[in-house]
């Protein structure tokens, strides 16, 4: 059965970026939400999951607390806890998974360097530049959500080590 994915670049006190992907229809749709209150971000995500009947939820996760605490990091951790609980609030969700922020940032660096390509993702330089997916301009939060989705759907293959026989 084809899935409906929602990939999230969460922010507890800034801009949360999302990409919805319908595996059956091969359709992508981007969303973002800006608010200083993490509960509002959670409410937005909950409504989006119910509206789109999401089966698989993926989010960018951080397990690193920065040296200097700030309200945004605490709010982010609260939102991540809320995202993990969405499967109990939205019956269509069958799986919740996460991608580490470091993996997304490494993936981003490769995309910038051109050593990694994602079909229909283009970076334009200059005044009217930025990131474009399927001809639509996307912001950095939507880009991170798209990179997270791509990491989830096609994880990088690990190099196989050669067996040494003595």
- Six token digits for residue 24: 């059956």
pLDDT number for residue 12: 79
pLDDT number for residue 117: 85
pLDDT number for residue 71: 64
Separation between Cα atoms, residue 123 and residue 104, nearest integer Å: 17
21-54 tens-digit pLDDT: 999 999 999 999 999 999 999 999 999 999 999 9
Phi/psi at 6 (nearest 5 deg)? Answer: -130, 120
What are the structural domain ranges in the chain?
A: 4-153
Mean pLDDT for back-to-back runs of 10 residues, the chain (166 residues): 94 92 97 95 97 97 66 84 94 96 92 88 90 96 96 70 50
With both helix axes pointing from N to C terminus, report the angle between 71-89 and 38-52 in degrees, rounded to the nearest 10.
30
Separation between Cα atoms, residue 1 and residue 14, nearest integer Å: 35
To which H or E segment does residue 16 belong?
A: strand 15-22
pLDDT number for residue 159: 43
4-153 placed in CATH 3.40.50.970: no
> Among the residues of the chain, which ranges form H helices?
38-52, 71-89, 101-113, 140-153
pLDDT number for residue 127: 86
Q: Are 5 and 58 in contact (CB under 8 A)?
A: yes
HSE-up of residue 78 (Cα within 13 Å, Cβ side): 15
pLDDT number for residue 161: 47
Distance of CA 144 to the CA centre of its chain: 5
């Amino acid at each position: 059965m084809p899935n409906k994915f929602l990939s999230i670049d969460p922010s507890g006190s800034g801009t949360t970026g999302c990409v919805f992907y319908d595996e059956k229809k091969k359709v992508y749709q981007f969303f973002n939400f800006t608010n200083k209150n993490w509960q509002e971000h959670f409410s937005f995500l909950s409504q989006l999951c119910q509206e789109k009947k999401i089966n698989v939820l993926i989010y960018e996760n951080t397990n690193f607390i920065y040296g200097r605490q700030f309200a945004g990091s605490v709010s982010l951790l609260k939102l991540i806890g809320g995202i993990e609980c969405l499967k109990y609030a939205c019956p269509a969700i069958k799986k919740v998974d996460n991608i580490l922020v470091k993996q997304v940032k490494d993936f981003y660096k490769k995309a910038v360097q051109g050593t990694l390509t994602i079909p229909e993702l283009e970076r334009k330089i200059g005044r009217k530049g930025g990131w474009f997916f399927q001809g639509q301009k996307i912001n950095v939060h939507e880009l991170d959500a798209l990179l997270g989705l791509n990491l989830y759907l096609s994880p990088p293959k690990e190099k196989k080590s050669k067996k040494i026989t003595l």
